[in-house]
Amino acid sequence: MKTLAIASLLLMTATSHAATPTPPDVEKRAHEVRAPHGAVRQDEYYWLRDDSREDKAMLAYLEAENAYVDQVMAPLKPVEDALYDEFVARIKQDDASVPFRDNGWWYYSRYETGKDYPVHARRKDGAGVGAAEIMRLNEAGDFATEQVLLDVNAMAEGKEYFSVGVYETSPDNRILAWADDSVGRRQYTIRFRNLETGEVYPEAITGLSADMVWADDNRTLFYVENDPETLLTVRVKKHVLGTPVADDVVVYEEEDDSFYMGLSRTRDDRFICIGVESTVSSELRCTPAANPGDFTVLAPRERDVEYDADHYDGRWVILTNAPDADGHKAPNYRLVTAPTTATSRGEWTNWIAHRDDVLLEGFELFDGFTALAERSNALERIRLLKADGEEYVAADEPAYSMGLSVNAEPDTEWLRYGYTSMTTPGTTYELNVATGERRLLKQQPVIGYDPSKYATERTWATARDGTRIPVSLVYRKGFAKDGTAPLLQYAYGSYGMSMDPGYSLTTTSLLDRGMVYAIAHIRGGQEMGRTWYDDGKLRNKINTFTDFIDVTDHLVAEGWAAKDRVAAYGGSAGGLLMGAIANMAPEKYRLILSQVPFVDVVTTMLDRSIPLTTNEYDEWGNPERKADYDYMVTYSPYDNLEAKAYPAMFIGTGLWDSQVQYWEPAKYVARLRDLNTSGVPVLFRTNMDAGHGGKSGRFRRYRELAEMYAFMLDQLGVGAGDAPAD
């Protein structure tokens, strides 16, 4: 059995002048992981788990891995710096968001040149004040009439990590409540400030999710408290300003640990609602915002019945997959209405029927129309329902992303929506639904970028079971589809999350160097409707992995890439995808990029104390049940590593990650090193000051990405000679 003292490990990885850096090694310690049904697995690197993040041997190993990355990447530092400089050069540093009007004020966020964090601000509505005028003032640097809500740069000063998760002003616009996190584990603290006097109140409520709602009295705030061990949302409390936090009253406690919880106010501001949802079920309970009391259930939860609701114009409008009165199922969802007093599904009336070929994803209610967010044929669209009929918002490209933007107030004829594609930077439009007039409010400024030099396409790959998989592609014009190009293929494929094609200023640097970028819309997402998701989870999870591999085969066969110049990229659950394809088809990938990867599926899902575990039994399965265990262990990346040649890898994690704990990729890399016969580099970078989303601040993440992309370019043979095109 291989062992190595930590002191020797550090000494070995600190030898910076070695011709070929030697990767770290770490000791094995015998450990058995037992399932309730008796199955036993050996986990020799289990000891790397330390919930306190204080074990010296563990920390030394992570630091040794970081030192190894530094050594390997040292010759590539000029490429990394060039990429970083390109990324940052495209950013308009003194940029600001499109203002939106809410309750007599215009809200927006802006950045200042050279600073990492936003300034959240507002301006009072009045004569001559509107979105266009405020954008003009912000562009001119005229902030005389601005009220700063939060200067996050000042708040983050001296901190390695800082994030504001949410902020809300009281209904009378006088009190600001915000939730901040200075560690990266998404465990927030709520604080308060008087916007008229500047006084910061003494109350600080800790251990929370980034979720809050004010009551109409401007003194009562409802918030969601997390379990300190599992970090799950477990109870809703209310705090009254000026009273001890210890006296805060629990208004609802969720006893089923497979449910998440959140708070909202309805469109008409009449109700405060607590929403709870699991993978396959949901429930909404609401109370009057003017006089909060008992929370009344809109419809009791039922397994395999999901719904979300909003209240406006004297009725509930509900998006649901519940079967209709005749028993017809609605996996792609339908819209129903219900009276304000409704407390059961029996009071629901069908409004927008279910369709097999269209996924209904959301809606927004206005005085004279309703906007529906739909998905058809793997593309998003917006359908407008008006008194005189219906119409669709137009799109001009074959592969794009379109969705509802911030529409804070319902008494308007103008609908705001966002549009982007792999060649078109993020754009905000507003459309007058009565006249058809469309206004361009803002397009993400990208300095030096010319969209006419790039092209996007949609292709379809045939999976091994005959299913057609949509793929979105982007490349620089002049690209020859002759089977010689390097390609980066990205996918996610879990939780029903659709990966829609959008512009990326960092991807542009790859395209300028002759690369092709592809998004594989594999099963496990929801691009092709709810069945697309169902066909890529639980006992169908294998489809997610084989779809990705089959897309790769298609792109190579069609000449989009050379078979030995394909890189794959995924993160979180997409990191599970990366681990699976590395085991199943390592020869098809020259390189795999994997960020915060979920690679130890069975051990994690056997441990109820780990955040997210119990919420996700209906996503992955519950390995306490032998049948689920037997299926999950067939694809869990950590459990399926074996002695063979793996591709080069760059794997990243955050020490404080609460979604995928750092020890999963740490164990994976340690075991991979034992078994890998290829001799190509496997790099493992741990961000010691961040969590699931990486470092905070808008520039730091570009440094991390530049390092990873520099490694990729080197492995794919895209060298210094392949400078960006003119």
State pLDDT tens for residues 167-193: 999 999 999 999 999 887 788 999 999
The partner residues of 432 in beta bridges, in order of sequence, read 414
Residue 615: the pLDDT is 83
pLDDT tens digits, residue range 397-445? 888 999 999 999 999 999 999 999 999 999 999 999 999 999 999 999 9
One-letter amino acid identity for 593?
Answer: L
Task: Report the interhelical angle of 573-584 vs 542-557 (nearest 10°).
Answer: 70
Q: Return mean pLDDT, the chain.
A: 93
For 20-24, which contacts have Cβ atoms below 8 Å and span 24 or more sequence positions?
Answer: 21/68, 21/71, 21/72, 22/68, 23/68, 23/673, 23/681, 23/682, 24/61, 24/64, 24/65, 24/67, 24/68, 24/673
Residue 183: the pLDDT is 81
Helix, coil or strand: residue 13? helix
Query: Residue 579: enclosing H or E segment and its boundaries?
Result: helix 573-584
- 268 tagged catalytic: no
pLDDT tens digits, residue range 346-393? 999 999 999 999 999 999 999 999 999 999 989 999 999 998 899 999
Q: Give CA–CA dist 536/546, Å, rounded.
A: 10
Report CA torsion sign: 569, 570, 575, 577: negative
| Catalytic residue (one of 109, 278, 282, 572) | 572
Indicate if the pLDDT at residue 719 is higher than 90: no
321-323-327 Cα angle (round to 5): 165
Residue 257: the pLDDT is 87
Residue 691: the pLDDT is 55
Indicate if the pLDDT at residue 671 is higher than 70: yes
- 572 tagged catalytic: yes
Question: Residue 695 — pLDDT band, cuts 50, 70, 90?
Answer: low
Q: Give CA–CA dist 529/356, Å, rounded.
A: 8
288, with CB counted inside 10 A (0-12, 13-18, 19+), is middle
Q: Which residues contact 491 (CB under 8 A, 6 or more apart)?
A: 499, 519, 520, 521, 522, 548, 551, 570, 574, 577
Q: Give CA–CA dist 590/718, Å, rounded.
A: 13
Residue carrying the six token digits 């074959």: 398
Q: Which residues contact 690 (CB under 8 A, 6 or more apart)?
A: 160, 161, 184, 654, 655, 656, 657, 696
Q: Give CA–CA dist 654/529, Å, rounded.
A: 33
pLDDT tens digits, residue range 131-141? 999 999 999 99
Residue 18: the pLDDT is 42
pLDDT tens digits, residue range 327-338? 999 999 999 999
* Residue 448, phi-psi category: left (phi > 0), alpha (psi -120 to 50), beta (remainder): left
Strand order, beta sheet including 282-288: 260-265, 271-277, 282-288, 296-297
pLDDT tens digits, residue range 69-119? 999 999 999 999 999 999 999 999 999 999 999 999 999 999 999 898 999
Indicate if the pLDDT at residue 14 is higher than 60: no
Average pLDDT estimate for 633-638: 98
Q: Give CA–CA dist 364/308, Å, rounded.
A: 12
Q: Give CA–CA dist 140/124, Å, rounded.
A: 18
Q: Tell me the helices (H) and strands (E) count for the chain, helix number first.
A: 14, 37
Indicate if the pLDDT at residue 601 is higher than 50: yes
Residue 698: the pLDDT is 74
**DSSP track, 48-94:** G--TTS--HHHHHHHHHHHHHHHHHHGGGHHHHHHHHHHHHHTB-TT
Average pLDDT estimate for 523-542: 97
Report CA torsion sign: 439, 445, 451, 456: negative
pLDDT tens digits, residue range 433-480? 999 999 999 999 999 999 999 999 999 999 999 999 999 999 999 999
Q: Give CA–CA dist 89/582, Å, rounded.
A: 35
Strand 233-240, strand 249-253: pairing: antiparallel
Average pLDDT estimate for 508-529: 97
One-letter amino acid identity for 320?
Answer: T
- Other C-beta atoms within 10 Å of 112: how many? 16
Indicate if the pLDDT at residue 12 is higher than 80: no
Quote the tokens at residue 312: 């406006």
- Regarding predicted confidence, which is higher, 693 or 305? 305
- 182 tagged catalytic: no
Quote the tokens at residue 566: 């394909």
Residue 721: the pLDDT is 44
Residue 613: the pLDDT is 81
Average pLDDT estimate for 336-346: 97
Quote the tokens at residue 96: 């600001």
**What kind of architecture, by CATH, is found in domain 31-46+84-89+449-715?**
3-Layer(aba) Sandwich (3.40)
Whole-model pTM over 0.85: yes
Indicate if the pLDDT at residue 293 is higher than 90: yes
Q: Give CA–CA dist 83/399, Å, rounded.
A: 26
Q: Give CA–CA dist 355/721, Å, rounded.
A: 53
Q: Which residues contact 164 (CB under 8 A, 6 or more apart)?
A: 120, 150, 152, 155, 178, 179, 180
DSSP letter, residue 199: P
Residue ranges of alpha helices (H) inside 187-324 are none
**CB of 172 closer than 8 Å to CB of 677:** no
Question: Residue 726 — pLDDT band, cuts 50, 70, 90?
Answer: low
| Catalytic residue (one of 354, 521, 554, 692) | 692
Indicate if the pLDDT at residue 490 is higher than 90: yes
pLDDT tens digits, residue range 181-234? 988 778 899 999 999 999 999 999 999 999 999 999 999 999 999 988 888 899
Residue 270: the pLDDT is 98
| Catalytic residue (one of 535, 550, 657, 714) | 657
Residue 690: the pLDDT is 61
Question: Residue 505 — pLDDT band, cuts 50, 70, 90?
Answer: very high
Q: Give CA–CA dist 431/413, Å, rounded.
A: 8
Q: Give CA–CA dist 504/445, Å, rounded.
A: 12
DSSP letter, residue 525: B
Indicate if the pLDDT at residue 263 is higher than 50: yes
